[in-house]
């Protein structure tokens, strides 16, 4: 069985600026509900150490980066194939003076059906709020870099 979450958010910053925020994983805790470390670097095939906040609990997870394309995509996968496996990531698409961020997660495996309702209760709203905080974080970073308030960048 496969189930997915998907949220699309417009951020009035160039993809390069959004990408700069995504690859500063030490800052993820400022805008994301999960924190991460990439002790091997941000390249496809490298390990990513995540700590998820799920239902008030901290859950450490190991993942593998599957797609790292500057200014375009940051994707990872983790879990136990056949039981519960997820592919999670961000895709960036330029749109005029900004970027559409596609934040997604695809779940597969035998345990998806009995657990998805619980996951949905705990995560569905999270995607929109994470993207909104990412937008604010990118605007703040851009403001600091340009010296202009976010409304003028």
Q: How many domains does the chain have?
A: 1
Query: Quick one: how many helices (H) and strands (E) in the chain?
Result: 2, 7
Domain with 138 in it = 2-146
Nearest Cα neighbor of 9 from 93, 105, 101, 91 is 101
Instruction: Look up the pTM and report it.
Output: 0.85
Show pLDDT as tens, one digit a residue, over the chain (153 residues): 788 888 899 999 999 999 999 999 889 989 987 788 888 889 999 999 988 776 677 888 899 999 999 999 999 999 888 888 899 999 999 999 999 999 999 988 888 888 777 777 666 667 888 899 999 999 998 766 655 544 454
Residue that has been written with the tokens 């596609």 in this structure: 102
CATH value at residue 32: 3.30.530.20
Rounded Cα gap, residues 8 and 78, in angstroms: 22
């Amino acid at each position: 069985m496969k189930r997915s979450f998907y949220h699309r958010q417009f951020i009035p910053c160039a993809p390069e600026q959004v990408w700069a925020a995504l690859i500063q994983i030490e800052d993820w805790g400022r805008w994301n509900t999960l924190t991460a470390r990439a002790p091997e670097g941000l390249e496809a095939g490298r390990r990513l150490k995540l700590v998820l906040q799920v239902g008030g609990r901290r859950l450490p997870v190991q993942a593998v980066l599957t797609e790292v394309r500057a200014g375009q995509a940051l994707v990872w996968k983790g879990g136990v194939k056949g039981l519960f496996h997820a592919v999670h990531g961000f895709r960036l698409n330029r749109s005029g003076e900004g970027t559409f961020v596609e934040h997604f997660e695809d779940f597969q495996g035998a345990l998806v059906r009995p657990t998805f309702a619980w996951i949905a209760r705990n995560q569905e709203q999270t995607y929109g709020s994470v993207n909104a905080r990412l937008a604010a974080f990118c605007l703040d970073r851009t403001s600091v870099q340009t010296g202009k308030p976010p409304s003028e960048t």
